[in-house]
Amino acid sequence: MVKILGALDRIESQLSNAPRIKSISHFLASISSFEIMHFSEITHFSRKKAVRRHLANETEFLPLLKKHNFRKIYLEQFSIREQVELFRKASHVIAAHGAGLTNVLFAPADVRILEIRPELSSGQFCFEKLFSLGWPNSEFLVSPVKGKFEIPPEMMNEVLERWNNEDLSPDSC
């Protein structure tokens, strides 16, 4: 994670503005400009199979995600090109803090991102820094119990209901 943070700091200092970062991400995304899958644009990237940083209570809020048309995806089951394609098509992304979130580099600028963190300062805010370079619709939830990586379904529901209401509002068109 420190390597990612250092690389982001170097990129940020070398490139003085976010449009350049977006240009790089669009270029990288164009490398795999073929259609390979047809998944829902609303995606929950699960870390359930990860050794570390997987949500202990993920199964508790899966019905809630399903209700809001999220599809559960395990990134480790896909090639890099397939992961790029998944993020290119994403309109909404929910994921636990982890390296898979760097794929946001390939996501559209208007994607909604919910990062779920085990602690407020997870990764020294590396994804918050990344998202600030061109993905303004990002937010995070933090596990309310120290030492337990769990998100109460009510917290998740608040975000999903707000997103749903904002997506349906006439101002969002």
Task: Tell me which of 167 and 91 has the higher pLDDT.
Answer: 91
What's the structural domain count of the chain? 1
Name the token pair of 62.
């899966």
**Please, which pLDDT band fits residue 155 given cuts at 50, 70 and 90?**
very high
Name the token pair of 48.
């359930």
Name the token pair of 41.
């644009």
- Looking at residue 105, which CATH number applies to its domain? 3.40.50
161 pLDDT more than 90: yes
Any alpha helices (H) in 31-152, and if so which ranges? 58-67, 80-88, 126-131
pTM over 0.85: no
> 47: closest CA among 129, 151, 169?
151
pLDDT of residue 96: 86
Distances (CA, A) of 31 to 25, 145, 163: 10, 42, 31
> 131: closest CA among 92, 162, 102, 160?
102
159 pLDDT more than 90: yes
pLDDT of residue 5: 46
pLDDT of residue 149: 85
Mean pLDDT, rounded, for 51-66: 80
Domain of 96 in residue numbering reads as 2-172
Each residue's pLDDT tens digit, 63-109: 888 888 888 888 888 888 888 888 998 999 988 888 888 899 899 99
Q: Is 129 exposed, middle or buried (0-12, 13-18, 19+ CB in 10 A)?
A: middle
Each residue's pLDDT tens digit, 19-29: 655 665 555 55
pLDDT of residue 32: 42
Mean pLDDT, rounded, for 115-122: 85
